[in-house]
Amino acid sequence: MSPSPADIAASIEAFIRREASVADDDLGFSRQVNLFDAGYLDSLTVVALTVHIEEALSTPISDTDLFDPRFATIDGMAELVAERAGRTADAAPGITADS
C-alpha cells in the first residue's frame, strides 16, 4: 500500500529538519513555506533529499520534478511524491517513464 500524503510529508519534514539543522523552535519553518526562498534547501540538501525520497519512499524524483512548483514546499512535495508513487505502482515492471 502506498503511504499517505501525510506520512510522506512527515518523512520529508523529518529529513529536512535533520539535514538542514532546523531548530525545533524555528517559527519560520512549516510544511507550507517555500524551502528555496527561505533558504532551508541548498544544492547539497536537495540532492540528499531526492535520494531520501527514492530510498525511503520508493519514488524516483526526476530532474523535471525538481522544477515542479510543488517541489518548493513540503506539502507540495508530498503531493508530488504521492502522485509519482501511484504512477510507479501502475507502471509495468522494468519500464521507467520519463516525466
Partner 1 sequence: MLETHLPVTNACWTPSEGAHSGSVTPDMARMLLGRFADVRQDGGQVIALRDPLGLNKLYAAFHPDAGVIAANYLIDLVRAGTSFTDIYAIPPGSVVTLDPQHRTGAVRRFAALPGRAGSDRTVGELAAEIIALLDQGMQHLAAAHPDLPVAVCLSGGADSSVIASYARRHFPQSVAYSYCLDARPLSEDAIAARAVADHLGLPWRLVRADRQALLDTIPAALLHGQDWRDFNVHAGIVNEVLAAAIATDHPAGALVLTGDLMNEFLADYTPVTHDGIDYYRLPRLSPDRLRIHLARGLQTGDREVGVFAAHGLTVVQPYGWAVSPLLALSEPVSKPQLMMALARGTLPAAVLQRPKLRAQIGDRNAETGVLPQLLRAGIDQQSLEDHFRRTLGIRSPLELRTTVRGGVHQPVPAPRIPAEGHHESLTS
The answer to whether residue 6 forms part of the interface with partner 1 (CB under 8 A) is: no
Residue labelled with grid coordinates 512527515? 10
Does 67 bind partner 1 (CB under 8 A)? Our answer is: yes
Q: Which stretch binds partner 1 (CB under 8 A): 6-14, 23-31, 46-54, 76-84?
A: 46-54
User: Shortest Cβ distance from residue 12 to partner 1 (Å)?
Assistant: 15
For partner 1, the binding residue among 28, 54, 86, 89 (CB under 8 A) is 54
Q: Does 14 bind partner 1 (CB under 8 A)?
A: no
Burial bucket for residue 25 (CB in 10 Å: 0-12, 13-18, 19+): exposed
Of the pair 4, 99, the CB lying nearest partner 1 is at 99
Q: Which residues bind partner 1 (CB under 8 A)?
A: 19, 36-37, 43-48, 50-51, 54, 60, 63-64, 66-67, 96-99
